[in-house]
Chain A
Amino acid sequence: MKFMEKLSRRRFLKSGLAATAAATVIKNTDSKASGNFEGYPDGMGVLVDLTRCVGCRSCEAACNKEQGLPEPEKPFNDFSVFDELHHGQKRRTDETAYTVVNRFDMPDFDHPIFKKFQCNHCNEPACLTSCFVNAYTKTPEGAVIYNADVCVGCRTCMIACPFYVPTFKYSSAFSPRIMKCIFCYDTRLKLGKAPACVEVCPQEALSFGKRSDCISMGRQRIRQNPGKYVDHIYGEHEVGGTSWMYISSVDFDKVGMDTTLPKEPILNSVKDFLAIVPMVLTIWPALFTGFHLLATLKDKVMEMEMEEKRKEKEGQA
């Protein structure tokens, strides 16, 4: 009996470890392959030229109309919003605005820099990979869209996003809804049309085209205007590449953009850990139940033996 117990425990542990190793190896090869996704070849993109933006806020107005967003507090031609600070920060996207323009005063320049901001529509979006109900989709056209029907309101996407883009509609917490730019997917992009903000921009600070052509455009603009631009297209490689990209005359960190982001998708930073999660969920319960059963087996055997002895005694009596 004792021999049997030892053997079975050893065998159990051995097979458990083998399964764990196998799961790790399989999971790793899977996730490595998905980390190399460089976006759909014919995906569309937008090149944002910060040197061209004059801060007219037309994009904000067009977005509000196109997406049927609530009435703003101030008219869209009210430029006092550029002086607003919310909790010490410049304006950001929220449930009432999918895009905002902010003004950055440049001490070295005689004019400020304006920066429009919205969802950058990553090639490999962190919001999508973090969502456990698959509420997000990266469409072949390039948009990262969102399905409110399956959303449970966990807001993991808000934490996962390296650009802090998705926002939660706190006014409808019981039917959870994430609010973010969807590249005008339903009304325009799907039909091959440019998003509303691009169409309305008077300065053509926003150029719409195939993502690959947007990169060519940006390269040509940088090359043909020596000294005008920083030699970098923000979003070409950041977090695995984004559909919306930026060129600027000032360093990107001076206009509130994170220049410390990795070139790899956010998923690559967490996939090794994430690969363990299903393993933990599937193997651990069985493993530890087994441990428990084995550990308590001796007690049970003793109990049974005691019972038998008691019965024997009763029989003798």
Chain B
Amino acid sequence: MRPRTRKPGTTLLCVGSILFLSLTAPALAIDAPETINIDVMSKFYGPVTFDHAMHVDYASCEECHHHTTGEIVADPNCARCHTHHDAKTVVSCSKCHVADRFNQEYISKLEDPELYHLDKPGLKGAYHLNCVSCHVTTSGPTGCVDCHALTEAGEKLYRTGAFTPETKTASGKEH
């Protein structure tokens, strides 16, 4: 039988994780992450480190999470069905809003006559529609690169940065 001695490394890990948890969750008095790294779609733009803790001061949970956090939804249309809903175990955006919104499989699902949410935006649409509209009213950043920097692929797509078109001479213009 091996002696039940704890290695110093394990202790440190335990203390560390407790310290980490105490720093993140209870500080907001809600069980929510401090920051979220949004990187599932980073192709032309880099990932966004979303400061969740900061945004909690600007909006109530339901404004972004709808009925999933257990809060009562303000939208009367949503409230018709989602008045008394308990908090869901998973409230992340990507749980309901799919990243690949226009694939064939998803589109064929829309033909279900029982389906009510046939106009649910994809993940990218959900983020931008929710974030940008609020940023406009609260004077938050609204420019593309104010939130996420262009990647090299992005610069190539937009023909900007290192890929900026050379200024054409008068004869170069075809008309």
Listed in ascending order, the chain A residues whose CB lies under 8 Å from chain B are 52, 54, 56-58, 61-62, 64-65, 71-78, 95, 111, 170-171, 192-194, 198-204, 207-210, 213, 216-217, 220-221, 224
Contact = CB atoms under 8 A, between A and B. Distances in A.
A145 B41 CA distance: 31
A77 B158 contact: yes
Contact of B144 (A77, A170, A198): A77
Given A56-B144, A73-B168, A210 B107 contact: yes
B132 interface: yes
Contact of B119 (A95, A194, A221): A221
Given A213-B107, A213-B110, A217-B119, A208 B102 contact: yes
A204 B129 contact: yes
B114 interface: no
Contact of B118 (A111, A201, A220): A220
Contacts of B107: 208-210, 213
B110 A61 contact: no
B158 A61 contact: yes
Interface stretch (B20-28, B58-66, B81-89, B159-167): B159-167
A194 B163 CA distance: 26
Contacts, number: 88
A22 B164 CA distance: 64
Interface in B118-155: 118-119, 121-122, 124-126, 128-129, 132, 136, 142, 144
Interface residue range, chain B: 20 to 34
A204 B128 contact: yes
Interface of B: 44, 77, 101-104, 107, 110-111, 118-119, 121-122, 124-126, 128-129, 132, 136, 142, 144, 157-160, 163-165, 168, 173-175
B174 A199 contact: no
Contact of A61 (B111, B126, B159, B164): B159
Contact of A216 (B118, B132, B164, B175): B118
B46 to A, nearest CB: 14
Contact of A204 (B103, B104, B124, B164): B124
Contacts of B110: 209-210, 213
A72 B163 CA distance: 11
B164 A210 contact: no
Given A76-B160, A208-B107, A203 B119 contact: no
Contact of B158 (A76, A209, A217): A76
A200 B44 CA distance: 9
25 contacts: A54-B132, A58-B158, A61-B157, A64-B159, A71-B165, A75-B160, A76-B157, A76-B159, A77-B158, A170-B174, A192-B104, A198-B102, A200-B44, A200-B157, A203-B129, A204-B122, A204-B124, A204-B125, A204-B129, A208-B107, A209-B107, A213-B110, A213-B118, A217-B119, A220-B118
Contact of A202 (B119, B124, B160, B175): B124
B52 to A, nearest CB: 20
Contacts of A192: 103-104
Nearest to B116: A220
Given A56-B144, A170-B174, A220-B119, A203 B102 contact: no
A73 B164 CA distance: 9
